[in-house]
């Protein structure tokens, strides 16, 4: 980019007592995370990439790679577009590249190669405080010596907003997260959920074009986490702001997202809606990572149209959807527990003889453990009224459309180029 890069302030910021000093570099970025339109322009006054901005996503990663040592890559060949107003979640196990991707978008890391654009303009050389991005961290990053109102007002104060306007915006932000009555309290006087709502209000108060959330609910208990998922989604719907959210928790991704990018080995294994990822996974990795799955090992006997017949290791066979498999090749057959049925042996499609080995009672349903004749144990979701006892013979069945056969070696990440627009 031809524009002059703006340098960070060089004065040292002092951490207040009890504050995590490792957060100071990020808070420096948060403090000035503003950018006027001219800050994103080239020397000529023409915004970089403006010519084709209308045909691209609001956020674009183009052939982006990141290596810390020059040999191994944390992110490889990433092509990803995010639509304006979209809620996109980056989901994956630890070390899959999702957090590195978020940090590059935030400006905390520089790509080794490739281009990242925001509204059609390259931001690769812009520091965090010039990207007009709001950030929400897992550890909240609140100033302990400031009140709730002062924490929320902080991004506005560094922008030299008038006191009257600051007060009005802070009031609206606290109303959004239902914390107006706690404005004079310090963070230590709030619960974990309340602190997280303060962090949300601070990220939204200056009306950023993009909000990044780095596992913001990881420190909360299960019940509060589920409540905050709904609050964040409601705020997204109300404000229409673009959100890129990082988590390793699949329930968060499925609950809140418009689309989910499932990361594995530094790339995107699959990109799609929560419904697509759960009901139509494209690899054995995605099938096993999203939701609960039974996996049967076998070999493809024959392929007929979209289906294939699989001979299972140890005996038995099933018909399944063929997802990239070849005749004679080893495969994995994935079946959701709720797609399995207990039927009489005479009318079971894809019927497999089994013996009940245990039950797990979960209130509104049970998990039945059924051991097949080949020794593999399947989990079957049944109603709370089921009364099968250990040792009872059963037939486990599933419709062919509910079984998906994948190549045995499938599931690694790769390059995906899709946008939500």
Whichever domain contains 38, its CATH number is: 3.40.50.300
Q: What is the pLDDT of residues 91-132, one digit of tens each?
A: 999 999 999 999 999 999 999 999 999 999 999 989 988 888
Considering the domain architecture, whether residues 99 and 148 belong to the same structural domain is answered as yes
Q: Is the pLDDT score of 325 beyond 80?
A: yes
What's the mean pLDDT when you consider all of the chain?
84
Q: Find the helix packing angle between 148-157 and 163-176, rounded to 10°.
A: 130
Asked if residue 312 is part of any domain, the answer here is yes
Residues ≥6 apart with Cβ < 8 Å to 105? 59, 61, 116, 133, 210, 212, 244
Q: Is the pLDDT score of 42 beyond 50?
A: no
Asked if residue 4 is part of any domain, the answer here is no
Asked if residue 190 is part of any domain, the answer here is yes
Asked if residue 7 is part of any domain, the answer here is no
Asked if residue 397 is part of any domain, the answer here is yes
Considering the domain architecture, whether residues 99 and 221 belong to the same structural domain is answered as yes
Considering the domain architecture, whether residues 26 and 122 belong to the same structural domain is answered as yes
pTM: 0.80
d(CA 180, CA 408): 55
Domain containing 398 equals 294-407
Name the domain boundary from 248, 279, 310.
Answer: 279
The domain total for the chain is 2
Considering the domain architecture, whether residues 236 and 166 belong to the same structural domain is answered as yes
Considering the domain architecture, whether residues 324 and 187 belong to the same structural domain is answered as no
Q: What is the domain-level CATH number for residue 336?
A: 2.40.50.140
Considering the domain architecture, whether residues 231 and 86 belong to the same structural domain is answered as yes
Q: What is the pLDDT of residues 150-182, one digit of tens each?
A: 999 999 988 888 889 999 999 999 998 899 999
Work out the average pLDDT over 328-347.
Answer: 89
Considering the domain architecture, whether residues 362 and 251 belong to the same structural domain is answered as no
Q: Is the pLDDT score of 266 beyond 90?
A: yes
Considering the domain architecture, whether residues 113 and 252 belong to the same structural domain is answered as yes
Asked if residue 417 is part of any domain, the answer here is no
Asked if residue 78 is part of any domain, the answer here is yes
Q: Which long-range contacts (CB under 8 A, 24 or more apart) does 13-18 make?
A: 16/143, 16/144, 16/145, 17/144, 17/145, 18/144
The DSSP line for 174-215 is HHHTT-GGGTT--GGGS-HHHHHHHHHHHHHTT--SEEEEES
Asked if residue 158 is part of any domain, the answer here is yes
Q: What is the pLDDT of residues 298-312, one digit of tens each?
A: 999 999 999 999 999
Q: Is the pLDDT score of 346 beyond 50?
A: yes
């Amino acid at each position: 980019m031809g524009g002059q890069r703006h340098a960070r302030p060089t004065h040292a910021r002092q951490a207040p007592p009890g504050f995590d000093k490792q957060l100071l570099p990020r808070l420096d970025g948060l403090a000035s995370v503003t950018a006027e339109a001219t800050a994103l322009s080239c020397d000529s006054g023409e915004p970089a990439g403006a010519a084709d901005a209308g045909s691209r996503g609001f956020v674009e990663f183009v052939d982006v790679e990141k290596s810390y040592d020059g040999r191994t890559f944390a992110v490889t060949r990433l092509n990803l577009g995010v639509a304006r107003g979209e809620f996109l979640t980056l989901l994956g196990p630890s070390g899959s590249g999702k957090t590195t991707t978020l940090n590059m978008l935030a400006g905390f890391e520089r790509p080794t190669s490739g281009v990242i654009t925001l509204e059609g303009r390259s931001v690769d050389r812009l520091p965090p405080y010039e990207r007009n991005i709001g950030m929400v961290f897992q550890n909240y990053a609140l100033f302990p010596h400031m009140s709730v109102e002062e924490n929320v007002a902080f991004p506005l104060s560094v922008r030299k907003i008038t006191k009257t306007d600051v007060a009005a915006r802070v009031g609206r932000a606290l109303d959004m997260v239902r914390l107006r009555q706690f404005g004079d309290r310090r963070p230590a006087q709030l619960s974990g959920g309340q602190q997280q709502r303060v962090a949300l209000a601070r990220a939204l108060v200056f009306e950023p074009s993009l909000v990044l959330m780095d596992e913001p609910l990881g420190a909360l208990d299960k019940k509060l986490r589920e409540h905050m998922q709904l609050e964040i989604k409601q705020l997204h719907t109300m404000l229409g702001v673009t959100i890129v959210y990082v988590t390793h928790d699949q329930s968060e991704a499925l609950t809140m997202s418009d689309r989910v990018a499932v990361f594995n080995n530094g790339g995107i294994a699959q990109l799609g809606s929560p419904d697509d990822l759960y009901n139509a996974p494209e690899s054995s990795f995605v099938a096993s990572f999203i939701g609960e799955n039974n996996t049967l090992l076998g070999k493809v006997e024959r392929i007929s149209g979209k289906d294939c017949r699989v001979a299972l290791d140890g005996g038995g066979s099933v018909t399944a959807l063929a997802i990239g498999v070849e005749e004679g090749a080893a495969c994995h057959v994935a079946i959701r527990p709720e797609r399995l049925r207990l039927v009489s042996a005479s009318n079971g499609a894809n019927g497999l003889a089994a013996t009940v080995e245990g039950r797990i009672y979960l209130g509104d349903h049970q998990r039945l453990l059924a051991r097949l004749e080949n020794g593999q144990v399947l989990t079957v979701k049944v109603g709370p009224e089921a009364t099968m006892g250990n040792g009872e013979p059963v037939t486990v069945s599933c419709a062919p459309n509910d079984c998906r056969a994948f190549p045995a070696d499938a599931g690694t990440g790769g390059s995906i180029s899709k946008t939500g627009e």
